[in-house]
Amino acid sequence: MAELDAKGRRVLGYFVFMLGAGLVLDSSALWYGVLVMIAGAACFAAGVTTRPPPGDAA
């Protein structure tokens, strides 16, 4: 179950990061897009570094 949570965070983080990249490329709201990209990268990193609970067989 923890793997699904981590995968969900990675997918959400990637989506938010790419949304921010689109804002940077296609609008004048450069800093807003950069902030969205940072939030997406943080969410992705949280999904990568999530460890399964002890006793949960991988």
Give the predicted TM-score (pTM) of the model.
0.74
Please write the tens of the pLDDT for every residue from 7-24.
888 899 999 999 999 999
17, 42 Cβ separation under 8 angstroms: no
The HSE-up count of residue 2 (CA atoms within 13 Å, CB side) is: 12
Provide the pLDDT for residue 4: 57
Q: Specify if 7 maps to a domain.
A: yes
The number of distinct structural domains making up the chain is: 1
Asked whether residue 54 is assigned to any structural domain, the reply reads no
Question: Which residue segment(s) compose the domain that 41 sits in?
Answer: 2-48
- Kindly state the percentage of the chain with pLDDT values over 70: 78
Within-domain flag for 32: yes
Is 6 within the bounds of a domain? yes
Length of the chain: 58
- Whether 53 is in a domain gets the answer no
